[in-house]
Structure 1
Amino acid sequence: MAELRIAIAQIDTCVGDISGNVEKILSWTRKASEREADVVVFPEMTITGYPIEDLALRGSFQRAAERALFDIAHTLEAEGLGDIRVVVGSLGALALSDHVPMDRPTNRAAVLCHGSVEVAYDKHHLPNYGVFDEYRIFSSGNTTTVFEVKGRRLGLAICEDIWQDGGPVAELEDVGISVLLTLNGSPFEEGKSQVRLEQAQRRARAVGAPLVYANSVGGQDDLVFDGGSFVVSAHGEVVARAPKFVEDLLLWDLAEDDETCKFGPIASALEPDEETYRAIMTGLSGYFTKNGFKSVILGLSGGIDSALVAAVAADAIGGENVYGVSMPSVYSSEHSKDDAHDLAQRIGAHYRVQPIAPFVDAFQSQLHLTGVAEENLQARMRGMTLMALSNAEGHLVLATGNKSELAVGYSTIYGDAVGGYAPLKDLDKSRVWELSRWRNNYAIDRGEIPPIPESSITKPPSAELRPGQVDQDSLPPYDLLDAVLDAHIEHAEGRAELLERGFDAHVVDKVVSLVDRAEWKRRQYPLGPKVTALAFGRDRRVPITSRWREPEM
């Protein structure tokens, strides 16, 4: 048997940008050809971008995706690249057998060769949990697909097909393939890399052949695709791996005999904090770039949340494109203002000071608010200031709240909750501190200036909306709060289970009540990158109007 060179094109596509995605597919196929690849494998739904949600149901979109598939094949043939097999994900609008329009499209993998579609495979297992809602838009495939290159038999699968038992992938166990190619659009979650690897190892052992795992990379709305494409041997050993969060062309050679498994490049794994930090960067960069923004603006309070958001933004899009605004009130401390200015200088961001006292005074002369209403007025003046500057200057407003605050409603709607994107939306407060420390240590290890002032990390969190205010006036200590929230939200534990864990009943009742009452705020909060197993929005869906309350034991 002949040796076979397989290229994995780990690329970043944009939903709906069919022409742009086609140009990228052509460009990376040319690169693969220059490296003498026989097969180039692209991720799931590369032509359309992923996930396309209800765009899949539009006839015009289906027809454009279908045309693009043949445009790629014809272009490559015209350029003398017809011999290379291009395995690309797209939207299938026509039945494979008789080529007539289907009631619902499919998530399809097509093999292009010599100006035409050689074979195609429709995804069998459709995920319908968490962020996935594929029963809504796709039909399921039900046949195996094997094609030959240089006398070697290659099997096809798409993402969820290797996560589930049965279906066409199980049928490949008795076919005798040389390699299983899997096209994936698997979003990032903390700890998911190992789960993916274990599933791939299981399927490779089952089919008795190496498994090629081609994954997407880049940000798409609130999802982050982390790449990390890899190849495992028939025995489950990692023999090649692409880096995470960057586009990459990973080359791997299938040996002449099926008993030998060659090694290709193996990128180093990232430590957990760096992985999550880069996921947030990728999410922000993807949203920023794909929606045509040129700059971002955010409030710089001198606190840890805005400091981390600013650092992430500077790393993702460059400090010169970050505009920080200090908006002191009469209660703002000098050290907070100093920390905000220091941060802006460290990351190379633009910086301005816009006191909100005149705005507050104008409202107070008419409304005479006190207590929480007065505090919220200050937050809303800050939100209005940022939105006004956004409208006037074209910036994307970044909300700086974290998951802990969002969980218990510790934010002001139309105040600090304004914005178009919220980088920390799926990070609890404890993780905000951890990633801030990691980012500073990362800089120190490289002989650079840490981006975040140390005092922003160490001082007690405060909204500074009244004299001497700190967050723990209203909330349990964040380490305790985050532990309760993790059990209640991530693991869906109720009052009884929380008390069994040993949490104080007063703390449990307060936290659960705050979470229940804040759902309406969460529905109006900007989107942000999903990095945990259960993020607000796509993952966790509870009614706003509900009389359910946790029963007492």
Structure 2
Amino acid sequence: MKLAIAQMNCMVGAMQQNAEQILALADQAYQAGARLLLTPELALCGYPPEDLLFRQDFHEANQRALQWLEQRLPADMAVIVGHPHALSGKRYNAASVIHSGRIQATYHKHHLPNYSVFDEERYFEAGELPVVFEWHGVRYGLLICADSWVPGPALQALQAEAQVLLTINASPYHLHKQTTRYQVLRDRIKETGLPMIYANLVGGQDELVFDGASFSMNSQGTLVQEMPMFEAHLGYLTLQDNQPLATDICAPLSTEATVYKALMLGLRDYVDKNKFPAVVLGLSGGIDSALTLAIAVDALGKERVKAVMMPSTFTAGISVEDAAEMARLLDVDYSVLPIAPLFDGFCETLAETFAGKSFDTTEENLQARIRGMLLMAISNKFGSLVLTTGNKSETAVGYSTLYGDMAGGFALIKDVPKTLVYRLAVYRNQLSAIIPERIITRAPSAELRPDQTDQDSLPAYEVLDAIMEAYVEKDLSIDAIVNLGYSPADVERVTRLIDRNEYKRRQAAVGVRITERGFGKDRRYPITCQLKF
């Protein structure tokens, strides 16, 4: 029998729109000869719906959309639809089997993840019973996402005489996630001896990006099918003697390619789903804004991107030249708005108040805040979304200015460490040379005082990023990080800056998550606390 996997990009809360998309995919798959269709976890309402799940009208809209689908799906086709299920005063993360004009069975997710970006225990009750249904002579067991990560639900399906396991997922991307998924499914296959078909969501949802990459494995754990990453796609698979036959397997992407595509998709969906006409960003002549501009143009097209160079007295001539050259190469709308007159005006206004005080970070931050005001003025006038350009390394240690370079609506590379920023820039230039080489090779600088470089205030980024990863993503102690070979002074400095700047990160714009632990829903630290235990 021929099966189809709908790797869908859903809109949270748009139940009728998502139902229409499911119907269109079902009709397409049916015409192609498929008689079973999988949709992702909570495909009907989008994932994650968060506190929308507390609203009665939200569940009523889901029920209407589900009933609408029941009446219209091809009768001789089984469609697995992921949806929230309100029952007897409780809420479940559910998957229903629809065919012959009605729901034939509904499975409730057993294991509710409550870690990292997940908080399903806040919303759902856990199911306990397996669901195995027979269709065209094959017995299928249903699982939902985290149910595949532990033995219990798969073994229950086996005991209920399942012959094939179907797992529907809303599994967000982070670096190297697909390798982990392979291993998890192979563990379940080893335990049950059953082949598995894995359908995953695709698309951007606030800080999360779902990468798709749906796949299938036979009962030996051999990969026999894999769909594209970061693309909506309708894939097909044939079962013979209860085994999926080998078919298309997408070529693996490099680390840099997967991150770049994740950033593109996260930005595109945030802009399009929130109906922004365009984006605007400050182009400084530095590596971070250059990468942000490249991704924005690749994701949205040059017509929807505006770049603004805002030079000050301290801006190097080569920064002005490189920014103009990149804007020319990408053919984007480009403006130069000098901030020196505005800065002088502020300094004059503050002269009496600051009498006797020397130039310090106050004046540095003032320049960043002037730039933030200009970008927000453009945003207000034209409705464009301001993209901030700070990377994860800067965000970690507070090397950024509140209401200045942090001002904006979407922090595209906020989870990209500085060392990876350079790798992504090199990767993008390998596709076509759009980032001037000097931007990549020159020493990074905020250019807020004479002859400034980042390393005046910070350790080398290779060191900073390694300490940040150990402290933020792995929760290692200061002593443990020092034991990895880093100097106590560097470790103390970086971790102290990370701790001190939680208040800044709490006020930062949302941005794409690409690491296993980003700043945001992943890492929820108190601002006011004692961290020396």
* TM-score above 0.5, yes or no: yes
- 1:402-481 matches, within 5 Å, as 402-443=391-432, 450-481=433-464
Distance 2:265 2:310 in 1: 28
Find the counterpart in structure 1 of residue 122 from structure 2. 136
- 1:194-205 matches, within 5 Å, as 194-205=179-190
Find the counterpart in structure 2 of residue 446 from structure 1. none
TM-score (norm 2): 0.97
Distance 1:50 1:331 in 2: 46
Find the counterpart in structure 1 of residue 56 from structure 2. 59
Distance 2:62 2:36 in 1: 22
Distance 1:326 1:55 in 2: 41
Contact 1:73 1:82 in 2 (8 A): no
Cα deviation, residue 261, structure 1 = 4.2
What residue ranges of structure 1 are gaps of 5+ in the alignment?
Answer: 95-101, 444-449
Find the counterpart in structure 1 of residue 302 from structure 2. 319
Cα deviation, residue 271, structure 1 = 1.3
Contact 1:33 1:84 in 2 (8 A): yes
Cα deviation, residue 469, structure 1 = 0.7
Distance 1:267 1:547 in 2: 49
Distance 2:6 2:34 in 1: 11
1:398 match: secondary structure: strand
2:162 equivalent among 145, 155, 177: 177
Aligned residue identity for 2:44: I
Contact 1:146 1:156 in 2 (8 A): yes
Contact 2:264 2:296 in 1 (8 A): yes
The answer to whether 1:47 aligns with 2:44 is yes
Find the counterpart in structure 2 of residue 212 from structure 1. 197
Contact 1:104 1:137 in 2 (8 A): no
Q: String of CA shifts for 1:451-471, please: whole Å, max 9, x gaps.
A: 211111011001111111111
Q: What percentage of residue pairs aligned between the two structures are identical?
A: 45
Q: String of CA shifts for 1:273-318, please: whole Å, max 9, x gaps.
A: 1011101111111101100011000000000000000000011011
Aligned residues: 527
Distance 2:177 2:53 in 1: 27
Aligned residue identity for 2:373: M
Distance 1:246 1:146 in 2: 30
- CA change 1:261–1:71 in 2 (3 A) is closer
Cα deviation, residue 70, structure 1 = 1.2
Contact 1:242 1:248 in 2 (8 A): yes
Q: String of CA shifts for 1:478-499, please: whole Å, max 9, x gaps.
A: 1111111111111112221122
2:224 match: secondary structure: strand
1:413 match: secondary structure: coil
2:234 match: secondary structure: strand
The answer to whether 1:545 aligns with 2:528 is yes
1:7 match: secondary structure: strand
Regions of 4+ moved over 6 Å: none
2:77 equivalent among 81, 84, 90: 84
Contact 2:216 2:244 in 1 (8 A): no
Find the counterpart in structure 2 of residue 232 from structure 1. 217
Distance 2:361 2:213 in 1: 47
Distance 1:60 1:34 in 2: 35
Find the counterpart in structure 2 of residue 26 from structure 1. 23
Find the counterpart in structure 2 of residue 343 from structure 1. 326
Find the counterpart in structure 2 of residue 112 from structure 1. 98
RMSD over equivalenced CA pairs, Å: 1.1
Contact 1:57 1:105 in 2 (8 A): no
1:287 equivalent among 236, 248, 270: 270
Contact 1:39 1:84 in 2 (8 A): yes
Cα deviation, residue 6, structure 1 = 0.7
Find the counterpart in structure 2 of residue 154 from structure 1. 140
Aligned residue identity for 2:117: V
Aligned residue identity for 1:198: Q
Distance 1:91 1:483 in 2: 41
Aligned residue identity for 1:60: D
1:481 match: secondary structure: helix
Contact 1:57 1:104 in 2 (8 A): no
Distance 1:90 1:506 in 2: 52
Distance 2:244 2:95 in 1: 25
Find the counterpart in structure 1 of residue 389 from structure 2. 400
2:231 match: secondary structure: coil
2:334 match: secondary structure: strand
TM-score (norm 1): 0.94
Aligned residue identity for 2:52: L
1:245 match: secondary structure: coil
Contact 2:206 2:266 in 1 (8 A): yes
The answer to whether 1:359 aligns with 2:342 is yes
Aligned residue identity for 1:144: P
Aligned residue identity for 1:124: H
What residue ranges of structure 2 are gaps of 5+ in the alignment?
Answer: none
Cα deviation, residue 442, structure 1 = 2.4
Find the counterpart in structure 2 of residue 497 from structure 1. 480
Distance 1:456 1:30 in 2: 50
2:151 match: secondary structure: coil
1:377 match: secondary structure: helix
Q: String of CA shifts for 1:315-368, please: whole Å, max 9, x gaps.
A: 101111110000000111111011111111222211000011121111111113
Cα deviation, residue 272, structure 1 = 1.2
Find the counterpart in structure 2 of residue 278 from structure 1. 261
Contact 1:174 1:207 in 2 (8 A): no
Aligned residue identity for 2:49: I
Distance 1:209 1:495 in 2: 45
Aligned residue identity for 1:21: N
Distance 2:178 2:64 in 1: 35
Distance 2:288 2:332 in 1: 16
1:125 equivalent among 84, 102, 111: 111
Contact 1:156 1:180 in 2 (8 A): yes
Contact 2:303 2:333 in 1 (8 A): yes
2:516 equivalent among 523, 530, 533: 533
Cα deviation, residue 177, structure 1 = 2.0
- 1:502-521 matches, within 5 Å, as 502-521=485-504
Distance 1:241 1:316 in 2: 24
Cα deviation, residue 176, structure 1 = 3.0
Cα deviation, residue 547, structure 1 = 2.5
Cα deviation, residue 206, structure 1 = 2.4
Q: String of CA shifts for 1:13-65, please: whole Å, max 9, x gaps.
A: 01011111111111111110111101010000000000001111111001110
Cα deviation, residue 204, structure 1 = 2.3
Distance 2:6 2:530 in 1: 51
Distance 2:325 2:16 in 1: 44
Distance 1:200 1:543 in 2: 36
Distance 1:357 1:198 in 2: 57
Aligned residue identity for 2:408: G
Distance 1:377 1:232 in 2: 57
Distance 2:190 2:493 in 1: 50
Distance 2:489 2:216 in 1: 51
- 1:300-315 matches, within 5 Å, as 300-315=283-298
Distance 2:439 2:31 in 1: 50
Contact 1:430 1:482 in 2 (8 A): yes
